[in-house]
Amino acid sequence: MNTPVSAVAVITGGASGIGWKTAERLLETRLDVACALVDLNEAQSAELVERFGEDRVRFVQCDVTDQSAVEAAASQIEEWNRPISMLVTCAGIQIVGDSFELSAEKWQKVLGVHLNGTFYWCQAAGRAMRDGGGGSIVTVGSIAQDFGFPGRAAYTTSKMGIAGLTRVLAVEWAPAGIRVNQVIPGMVETPLFKRAAAQGIVDAEAAALEHALGRLGTTGELAEAIVFLLSDQSSFITGELVHVDGGFRAQRLE
């Protein structure tokens, strides 16, 4: 007998990488949860639909940099007639370049996806959570926000901005029963990282050694941390920036 679906988890950037893996883990461990995968491209979404059914998985196309598109997508998800009670903001982009030459267009593009997109979705999903009695939000940062990596001015700035936003919303929305935390990954074997390695932007072997554990993280490891922060097991945790980085930060701070 199937368990009735009682809540919806919205995952931006959900069609691949950490977002996709988080959806998979939620669907495997929470039979009462459905996932709305928000992305520009459908990518792997069809696999989850096939495995778990259209009643529990939906793909919603959305440009997270467009506030009106975000609001329309949130309304589309709410038409599923189940309350949005979880949000994970995984949508990401990385443009690397000399800060002397970084164009306004590239700067705005990175901040648009990370910072604006995170705020727009927190606002849209947060309203639904407020009206539904509460929920949990996990934003996704980066180890880059803790250090000055050359060529990543827009990326680092946007991720630091998300950290500030996370803390503000955690305090502001606590009375509404909404918890907000940030996961800060080390370097993870995502499609984004693999593309950067293929383009020579990053040396994968050298990157692995930057972590105390001597390896890169996996999308599954990040998904487990996110699922924990979404769950009632973390009911007394909010406003936290949680490093899941294989000791990257600890090793750098020695």
Q: Catalytic positions, please? A: 155
Q: Give the position of tokens 């499609």.
A: 191
Q: Which contiguous run of DSSP H or E holds residue 39?
A: strand 33-39
- Helical (H) or strand (E) element with 18: helix 17-29
Q: Would you report the helix, strand and coil content of the chain in percent, each value rounded to 5?
A: 50, 15, 35
Give the span between the Cα atoms of 193 and 187, in whole angstroms: 8
